[in-house]
């Protein structure tokens, strides 16, 4: 019996050791989860910033039309523009005057298609003059970030948040999509997500026709927007149903959904007719297509030139094992095909614009290498390079974008009654759009960020949540979603 007990002892020790290790891991996870729950954003910038000022000695591109009002003054009270007047007009008393030194002022940029995967992304965007971001793939922790911004705990672009992405069970990504094949469950999910605080619903092409239609119907009943990809299945059954979309995401979806991945001018015309007649804006997202093309062609050389330190470390790890690996391993034939498609997507975008389709600027930043802000400016320059007039490109990131997010009475123009979201640029962006890459000053809701502040914001754009914290945050989302 003693021998038998001695034989069992190692197994007891192993069992106790396993329980001990599991207990330590559980306690560690609980501690980390508690930290993630209570941690919040911060900034090294001064949070106390007046929201009233006189911006003098500026040339104003109001975006009410394509004219520039030379030598004007913009007056702001409590974050709202109250007057845009010639320099010789009387000035109100008691407001701080900021000398624009003959620069050009325009509305703050709005990027309609980004993935905000860290607080730092909103900081990078604001530093680049993007005062509003529409996030196109929702997670509950982004709701927390938005509340922190609204409370003024740190500085970043204003956040408009989509729900988690609706997709089919078969095609959806279990780590990031809400996968659903039942129309009634989809309807309930629309209600739940809006009640949780998301601003609108994001849809993907894999959704079955009846589910997609249910989402559109429920959103209409609630008075909220739906934006995203078309449902290929519903396109075949009822293309016109997509007229309910607030925006049609990606010119690539025109190439895939309308053209069947073939160059077909007649189908481009059909897409143009549909989008124009249904008044559905197109968000081209040329920047991300260029990224994957260059990555597939130049491989590691391309990555070495990018600011990878701007990417959240957990996100970067995921991308290194997925999308980066995919395009780094692309064969020459695939790289050549990517270039052909990229060229054609640019041509389609120009054709759709020429056919009267409304364009909204969206970069898809956060989906590959680039982050919001720098990618937003690159998207604008790519649209100009594609042949779209600079004024129309700026309109796509201001007036048109504000309409998409239903804030066209508050954002997108420099005019009395509009929020004081403005960029001060060294040159006229209508004639030198590259000036967008380096704003001299950014004003958001009347709060002024000078060049020193913008440098600090760019630095904070490289200060992310740690990889373990980010992974835990997302794990908690998956557990409790």
Q: Span 100-109, mean pLDDT?
A: 98
How far is it, in rounded angstroms, from Cα 221 to Cα 139? Answer: 23
Residue 25 is predicted with a pLDDT of 60
Task: For 149-192, write each residue's pLDDT tens digit.
Answer: 999 999 999 999 999 999 999 999 999 999 999 999 999 999 99
133: β partners: 111, 159
pLDDT band at 37 (very low <50, low <70, confident <90, very high): confident
Confidence (pLDDT) at 5: 53
Structure-block tokens of residue 432: 């030198």
Alpha helices in 225-299 (DSSP H): 232-238, 251-253, 265-277, 286-298
Per-residue pLDDT, 315: 95
Q: What is the pLDDT of residue 480?
A: 83
Q: Which residues contact 185 (CB under 8 A, 6 or more apart)?
A: none
Under a CB-based contact definition with an 8 Å cutoff, are residues 35 and 47 in contact? no
Total count of residues recorded for the chain: 481
39 band by pLDDT with thresholds 50, 70 and 90: confident
pLDDT band at 34 (very low <50, low <70, confident <90, very high): confident
Q: Which helix (H) or strand (E) holds 58?
A: strand 53-60
Q: What is the pLDDT of residues 373-412, one digit of tens each?
A: 999 999 999 999 999 999 999 999 999 999 999 999 999 9
- For residue 245, report the phi and psi dihedrals to the nearest 5 degrees: -70, 140
Phi and psi (nearest 5°) for 110? -120, 120
- Closest among 451, 338, 353 to 101, alpha carbons compared: 451
Position 362 pLDDT exceeds 60? yes
Q: Between 476 and 355, name the one with better pLDDT.
A: 355
* DSSP secondary structure code for residue 477 in this structure: H
Q: Using CA atoms, how far apart are residues 401 and 422, in angstroms rounded to an integer? A: 15
What pLDDT sits at residue 8? 52
pTM of the model: 0.94
> What is the C-alpha to C-alpha distance for residues 38 and 141, in angstroms, rounded to an integer?
11
Average pLDDT over residues 295-309: 96
Contact 187, 214 (CB under 8 A): yes
Give the start-end residues of each E strand in 194-233: 200-203, 226-228
| Contacts of 296 by beta carbon, 8 Å cutoff, 6+ apart | 327, 328, 330, 334, 335, 338
d(CA 125, CA 378): 12
Please give the mean pLDDT across all residues of the chain.
94
pLDDT digits (tens, 9 = 90+) for 214-228: 999 999 999 999 999
Nearest Cα neighbor of 381 from 310, 449, 451, 284 is 284
Structure tokens at 358: 């409304």
Residue 57 clears pLDDT 80, i.e. is over it: yes
As a whole-number percent, the residues of the chain with pLDDT over 90 amount to 89
pLDDT tens digits along 419-443:
999 999 999 999 999 999 999 999 9
Contacts of 102 (CB under 8 A, 6+ apart): 57, 58, 59
Side-chain-side CA neighbours of 156 within 13 Å: the count stands at 29
pLDDT value, residue 20: 58
* pLDDT confidence tier of residue 1, bands split at 50, 70 and 90: very low
Whether 65 shows a pLDDT value over 90: the answer reads yes
Return d(Cα 145, Cα 154) in angstroms, integer: 10
pLDDT for residue 45: 96
- Spatial CA neighbour of 227 closest among 235, 238, 215: 215
The C-alpha torsion from 327 through 329 and 331 to 335, rounded to 10°, is 20
Q: Which helix (H) or strand (E) holds 219?
A: helix 209-222
Two structure tokens written together for 191: 């209600």
Q: Residue 425: count other Cβ atoms within 10 Å of its Cβ.
A: 25
């Amino acid at each position: 019996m003693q021998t038998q007990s001695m034989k069992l002892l190692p197994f007891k020790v192993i069992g106790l050791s396993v329980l001990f290790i599991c207990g330590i891991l559980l306690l560690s996870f609980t501690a980390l989860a508690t930290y993630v729950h209570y941690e919040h954003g911060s900034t090294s910038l001064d949070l106390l910033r007046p929201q009233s000022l006189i911006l003098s000695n500026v040339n104003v591109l109001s975006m009410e039309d394509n004219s520039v009002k030379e030598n004007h003054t913009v007056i702001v009270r409590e974050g709202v523009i109250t007057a845009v007047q010639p320099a010789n007009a009387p000035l109100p008393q008691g407001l701080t005057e900021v000398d624009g030194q003959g620069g050009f002022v325009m509305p703050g940029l709005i990027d309609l298609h980004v993935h905000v995967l860290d607080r730092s992304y909103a900081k990078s965007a604001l530093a680049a003059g993007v005062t509003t971001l529409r996030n196109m793939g929702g997670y509950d922790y982004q709701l927390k970030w938005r509340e922190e911004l609204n409370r003024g705990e740190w500085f970043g672009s204003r956040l408009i948040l989509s729900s988690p992405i609706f997709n089919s069970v078969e095609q959806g990504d279990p780590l990031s999509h809400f996968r659903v094949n039942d129309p009634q469950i989809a309807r309930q999910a629309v209600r739940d997500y809006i009640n949780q605080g998301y601003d609108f619903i994001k849809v993907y092409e894999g959704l079955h026709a009846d589910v997609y239609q249910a989402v559109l119907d429920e959103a209409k009943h609630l008075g909220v927007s739906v934006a995203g990809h078309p449902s290929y299945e519903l396109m075949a059954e009822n293309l016109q149903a997509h007229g309910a979309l607030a925006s049609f995401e990606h010119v690539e979806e025109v190439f895939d959904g309308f053209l069947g991945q073939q160059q077909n001018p007649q189908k481009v015309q059909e897409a143009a007719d549909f989008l124009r007649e249904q008044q559905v804006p197109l968000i081209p997202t040329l920047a991300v297509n260029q990224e994957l093309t260059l990555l597939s062609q130049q491989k590691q050389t391309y990555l070495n030139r990018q600011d990878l330190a701007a990417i959240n470390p957990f996100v970067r790890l995921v991308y290194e094992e997925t999308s980066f690996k995919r395009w780094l391993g692309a064969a020459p034939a695939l790289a050549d095909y990517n270039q052909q498609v990229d060229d054609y997507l640019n041509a389609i975008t120009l054709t759709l614009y020429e056919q009267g389709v409304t364009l909204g600027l969206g970069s898809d930043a956060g989906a590959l290498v680039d982050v919001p802000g720098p990618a937003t400016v690159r998207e604008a320059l790519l649209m100009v390079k594609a042949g779209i007039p600079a004024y129309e490109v700026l309109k796509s990131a201001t007036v048109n974008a504000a309409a998409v997010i239903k804030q066209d009475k508050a954002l997108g123009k420099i005019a009395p009654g509009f929020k004081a979201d403005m960029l001060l640029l060294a040159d006229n962006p209508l004639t030198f759009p590259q000036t967008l890459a380096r704003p001299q000053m950014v004003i958001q809701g009347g709060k002024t960020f000078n060049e020193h502040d913008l440098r600090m914001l760019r630095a904070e754009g490289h200060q992310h949540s740690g990889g373990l914290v980010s992974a835990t945050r997302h794990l908690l989302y998956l557990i409790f979603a």
